[in-house]
Chain A
């Protein structure tokens, strides 16, 4: 799992752990760009292999004509549906927190699963529904499903546990828009701030934050850094003024000239890649390209997941057989124990430890 970089805080002398570093967002959902690419590539390869096998098992030779998606195309599709979340939230008038959480859930889900197994449309609906619940803005399932065309409540519910499991049940997300709000409040404590300029910059920065949701920044950087980057895109002066005030520490005195750059410079340097990421990747994907990918997706979906297909039924049968075997084994054990006269089993050491855990399913 993503190993933790040592926190390079100026206050590393105190033994307390910063609370952000206790959050699951820091511990489990922080990657480097290389790691992200690698994860997606390996996920995609493994998925293609599995699905190819499934196709072959169904009817030999069928898989050669199917062109599977690659990792970039999967990402394109995810991005498209992330944008659709925003539309839906506008329709339901959900607060921004719900929207941001749902998009995060969607992105994290597709770091653990592939588009070819689970179509992002349903996952998006489920992620949004889950987000309304976890952010304490719940709505009734019937109400939700009735406002979305061609959706039954069961479509949403079927995937819910899967989504939750893929997230590792890490439901709490730290968002950049809240950090931006905090920066807005905090800048007002600085002297000589022009409120008009600040207001305009805040609005622009907020649009950048919304664009950033379509990118990978929240999987690499912390929300405060993203927020500061967005503000810096809107008004570099304000951003650096605030950063300077935050890093006001004794190190920034002239006694240490160039050996340790002041923390403020470090932070501002950090913002550059974020800014470029937002500007480059932060726009909705090209409609034509997405349509093409969608078309191909219809052909290369994993047949095992489609209810009613041969592969699905075969898999179900295999699972049931395993379960039946397990039950028979357990019954045999119990019978043996009863026969021995001690219902709790007399000789523990002599039995083979059969792993009856359900985790593998």
Chain B
């Protein structure tokens, strides 16, 4: 029903609905959220029921009783949505409310607390992020100031002293580097370790499920070589020296390449070569273009 009609009909108090003549109040009208009216009705019913039927799994001794409870709730919802036995269903709801008043209250409290807790978490996170941003900005400021100061000092010194120009410049540059290095180490360490600690505290480590290692009948020359941690190896230098780890993106590990190479180096080292002609030399037929090699 459009808003203007609602205003027209119901401003002067409760009035009968033009279609079904039920008495309605203006307050009872809510704006429609879903396109489908049936869905809207269902959602409204479920919202109403959920306020009362808010028990959780923990409130039940076993799964069966929990599922029974859920089925009750669905039953009631179904009846209300499809207008079956409305009066009886209302009676059931009322009875449930009387029986479980205390538990309902408890659950309401609990939910409220949880919502509160979540909000606080969010606040804390946001504050932390802001703090960190502020710190970084402060650091940048400091750096810039120091650089400026350094340059000023250099200019002054060049003006005033007679010492060798190059030496002065070199010295000031060395000092600047030292300052930069010292600065990078301390704040970085601080913030990342703090982050790591909080994240570790939140998540709980999941222990590895015990599993049987892969067993098959292949001998992979494991006893013929031992893989060391590090080799002098120009071939893999590019990958190992790559600081940003771009080359290792797909999970590439140098150790695996080394292991493969080592395996190749010892594989078949004592296989004797074939000798002489066997009784059946490989079929040499060129009447066909291709020979499908027999296994």
Give me the interface of A with B, judged by CB distance under 8 Å: 1-3, 5, 7-11, 14-22, 26-28, 30-32, 34-35, 38-39, 42-43, 46-47, 50, 111-114, 117, 162, 165-166, 168, 170, 174-175, 178-186, 188-189, 195, 220-225, 227-228, 246, 263, 266-267, 270, 359-361
Contact = CB atoms under 8 A, between A and B. Distances in A.
B281 to A, nearest CB: 5
A360 B217 CA distance: 37
B180 to A, nearest CB: 36
Contact of A359 (B220, B233, B277, B292): B292
B275 interface: yes
A46 B277 contact: no
A302 B269 CA distance: 42
Which of B233, B267, B281 counts the most A-chain CB atoms under 10 A from its CB? B267
B269 A182 contact: no
A5 B272 contact: yes
B219 A188 contact: no
Interface string B216-247: 01111101111010011101000000000000
Nearest to B287: A50
10 contacts: A16-B218, A27-B295, A35-B274, A35-B281, A162-B289, A174-B267, A182-B260, A182-B261, A186-B225, A246-B224
A179 B278 contact: no
B117 interface: no
Given A30-B273, A34-B277, A175-B264, 8 more contacts: A18-B221, A43-B286, A46-B284, A50-B287, A111-B282, A174-B264, A182-B261, A360-B288
B265 A3 contact: no
Contact of B266 (A30, A170, A180, A224): A224
Nearest to A305: B289
B265 A224 contact: yes
What are the 7 closest A-B residue pairs judged by CB atoms, nearest first? A182-B265, A222-B268, A182-B261, A16-B219, A32-B274, A42-B284, A168-B293
Nearest to A116: B286
Contacts of B162: none
B219 A19 contact: yes
Contacts of A174: 264, 267
B10 interface: no
Nearest to B226: A189
Interface residues of B, number: 49
A248 to B, nearest CB: 10
B273 A112 contact: no
A122 to B, nearest CB: 14
B268 A26 contact: yes
B270 interface: yes
Contacts of A117: 286, 289
A27 B272 CA distance: 14
A54 to B, nearest CB: 11
Contacts of A46: 284-287
A186 B265 contact: yes
B261 to A, nearest CB: 4
Given A21-B268, A181-B261, A112 B278 contact: no
Contacts of A2: 274, 278, 282
B233 A32 contact: no
B262 interface: yes
A173 to B, nearest CB: 11
Nearest to B290: A165
B265 A113 contact: no
B277 A223 contact: no
A35 B269 contact: no
A86 B221 CA distance: 32
A224 B264 contact: yes
Contact of A220 (B220, B226, B263, B273): B273
B265 A1 contact: no
B264 A34 contact: no
Contact of A224 (B220, B269, B275, B295): B269
